[in-house]
Amino acid sequence: MLNENQLKCINLIIVENKTQKQIAKEINITEKTICEWKKNKEFKEEMQRQMKENFGSLAIEAQQELKKLLKSKNENIKMQAIKDVLDRAGYKPIEKAEVTGSIPVVIQDDITE
């Protein structure tokens, strides 16, 4: 189980985007301690979990911004936003189409001289 300082460290890394030096000073530990924590499996897993949670909460904001881009006056921005929305909704264009079957070949013997 992670201690209070480890949890605070993770929060300062993810939410407040602080450096190891700033974190070490704030929670009164050494930078070496933070480096050691980062090697710990439980610490890494908790950091991953919190990052995922943090990014998940930003997804709503990102979606709202993407909706605004759909109404952009700049046609290039608008087109990129449209493509992104369609891609994410599962409507990606097919890169290669596979054609099966046969194509009839007509040979003309009717050569007149």
| pLDDT score of 111 | 60
Q: Give the model's pLDDT for residue 93.
A: 74
pLDDT in the model for residue 113: 56
- What is the spatial distance between Cα 53 and Cα 104, in angstroms, rounded to a whole number? 58
Residue 104 pLDDT: 78
Does the reported pTM lie above 0.75? no
SS3 content of the chain, % helix, strand, coil (to 5): 65, 0, 35
**Lookup result for tokens 């991953």:** 48
pLDDT at 98: 76
Residue ranges of domains in the chain: 4-88
Q: How many helices (H) and strands (E) does the chain have?
A: 5, 0
What is the predicted pLDDT for the residue at 2?
95
Ranges in the chain, pLDDT < 70? 97, 109-113
Chain center to CA of 56: 10
